[in-house]
Amino acid sequence: MKYKRIRQLAFMLLSLTVVLACKKEQPQMNTEEKDPCDCASEVSADFEIWEGSSQVPNPRQTLTDTTYKDRTVEFRAQEENAEYTWYIGSDVETGQVTWKYFPDQWANQDIPITLVVKKEPNSVCFPEDDGYDSITKTFHISDYWQETTNDVDLGPIEGTYRVKSEHLADSFDVEFYADKNFQGEIMFNIINYDGEGSNCIDQARITGSNYRQVWTTNGTGSLVCDALRGYIHNRLDGVTEMHFSFGSTGPNNPDYYERTYFGRKLN
């Protein structure tokens, strides 16, 4: 019996040794912390220029470097939680977001906008940052749009575009222009809007227009131009983006489509 107990004790000691050895051989978890400066940045006075203002009810806003005349333009600082001073002509404004109305007499002028930002800097990641930055950007106020009794010219947004969409193998041309119908209403006209030869002439109405972007809608239930709704956008990066939906009864109808085109303006 004594010999049996000794064998049991030896077996237990051997098992414990194996378990401890296995634990020692397990790989160690990577406890290395991420560099806290990876997402940090120096204090910056960079800002964006938007045609249209969020202070205007139901605004149509477009990131831009050029605007129509007779418009309210919004300026948005990118730095959060700082002290902001804007210099817009002779006006001095504060706040992360500000705006100004530019009437017709500003047409064909370049407008410099200066932003000064002050903020407690991140001295750990950027020991040489003094927490102060100043940037001046210039945007242009065009002399569009131009309107007469019988016609309207929206400017460079009108013209012919070559675009590509997932629903067709090859690229295709889309032409857009605005005019007035016999009632004097400004209309959204687009040739080959689906890439398959469909045209919409003096049927769809423009619901908003900025220098770089124009919108149309017919509303759900309208049969005009397959209830064409959407926008054309000449983006700042040089790419034209168009987004349209078709179908009079909405997304649950098998004849409803949403399509996005990307391309460039030809003329």
Q: What is the pLDDT of residue 17?
A: 43
The band of 53, judged by pLDDT with boundaries at 50, 70 and 90, is confident
Q: What is the pLDDT of residue 219?
A: 52
Q: Which residue has the higher pLDDT, 214 or 16?
A: 214
pLDDT by residue (tens digit) across 176-223?
Answer: 999 998 888 899 999 999 999 999 998 888 989 999 999 998 654 556
Q: What is the pLDDT of residue 4?
A: 40
Residue ranges with strand state E in the chain: 47-51, 62-63, 66-67, 71-77, 83-88, 91-94, 97-102, 109-118, 132-141, 146-147, 152-153, 159-164, 172-180, 186-191, 199-210, 213-217, 229-234, 240-246, 257-265
Please name the residue that has the structure tokens 């919108």: 215
Q: What is the pLDDT of residue 190?
A: 95
Within 10 angstroms of residue 167's Cβ, the number of other Cβ atoms is: 11
Asked whether residue 104 carries a pLDDT value surpassing 90, the answer given is yes
Tell which residue, 55, 56, 76, has the closest CA to residue 64: 76
Tell which residue, 174, 166, 205, 79, has the closest CA to residue 131: 79
Q: Using DSSP, state whether 156 is helix, strand or coil.
A: coil
Max CA-CA distance within the chain?
117
Q: Is 2 exposed, middle or buried (0-12, 13-18, 19+ CB in 10 A)?
A: exposed
* For the chain, percent of residues with pLDDT exceeding 70: 84
Report residue 192 as tokens. 């080959």
Within 10 angstroms of residue 20's Cβ, the number of other Cβ atoms is: 10
Q: What is the mean pLDDT of residues 222-244?
A: 90
Contact 207, 215 (CB under 8 A): yes
Q: Is 104 exposed, middle or buried (0-12, 13-18, 19+ CB in 10 A)?
A: exposed
244: left (phi over 0), alpha (psi -120 to 50) or beta: beta
Residue type, 225: C
Question: How far apart, in Å, do the first and last CA atoms of the chain sit?
Answer: 103
pLDDT by residue (tens digit) across 116-139?
Answer: 999 999 888 988 889 999 999 999
